[in-house]
């Protein structure tokens, strides 16, 4: 029986240990669910608009913090103030990421920050000393197919939600 989320991919024979009979199973491959993923991201953005953090918001922020500590803290510092251990070796000092909203008139520019981290917007960031994390996350996810792009987008969104959360 087919459903809308999966399409047949390949069959493989298996042997039932209990009866010794051989059957064929159908392995399934997920279809691109871009509209669903986008709807989820919009839903997350709406959830984060409210001040009281739900369990889901806390989980997304915690995931973003893990990404930050793994990939960003080395330059921007554990406290996100620009004093990471590699900062002294960079041509341009890393930004204090806790002051993004303050530097933007009190509003956190969510999608602009997303594009800077993703690699789509360099102006305003200075040089491209910062790695293009979108490309790296897509590569780690396995390529440029819709699933890999969605996985990378989720990681980027978690990171941006975390940065939004730490604004002072």
Kindly state the tokens that stand for 56: 């889901």
Q: pLDDT tens digits for 28-80?
A: 445 545 556 666 666 666 666 655 558 889 999 999 999 999 999 999 999 99
User: Does residue 89 register a pLDDT over 70?
Assistant: yes
Beta-carbon contacts of 26 under 8 Å, excluding residues fewer than 6 positions away, are 8, 9, 10, 11
User: Does residue 164 register a pLDDT over 80?
Assistant: yes
> Is pTM, for the whole model, over 0.85?
no
Q: Residue range 130-155: average pLDDT?
A: 91
User: Does residue 158 register a pLDDT over 90?
Assistant: yes
């Amino acid at each position: 029986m087919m459903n809308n989320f999966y399409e047949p991919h390949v069959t493989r024979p298996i042997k039932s240990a209990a009866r010794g009979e051989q059957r064929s199973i159908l392995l399934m491959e997920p279809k691109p669910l871009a509209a669903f993923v986008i709807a989820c991201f919009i839903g997350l953005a709406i959830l984060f608009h409210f001040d009281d953090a739900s369990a889901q918001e806390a989980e997304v922020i915690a995931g973003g913090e893990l990404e930050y500590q793994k990939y960003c803290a080395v330059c921007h510092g554990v406290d996100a103030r620009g004093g990471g251990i590699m900062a002294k070796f960079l041509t341009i000092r890393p930004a204090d990421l806790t002051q993004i909203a303050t530097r933007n008139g009190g509003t956190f520019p969510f999608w602009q920050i997303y594009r800077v981290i993703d690699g789509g917007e360099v102006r305003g960031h200075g040089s491209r000393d910062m790695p293009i994390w979108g490309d790296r996350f897509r590569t780690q996810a396995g390529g440029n197919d819709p699933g890999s792009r969605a996985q990378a987008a989720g990681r980027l969104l978690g990171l941006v939600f975390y940065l939004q959360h730490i604004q002072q």
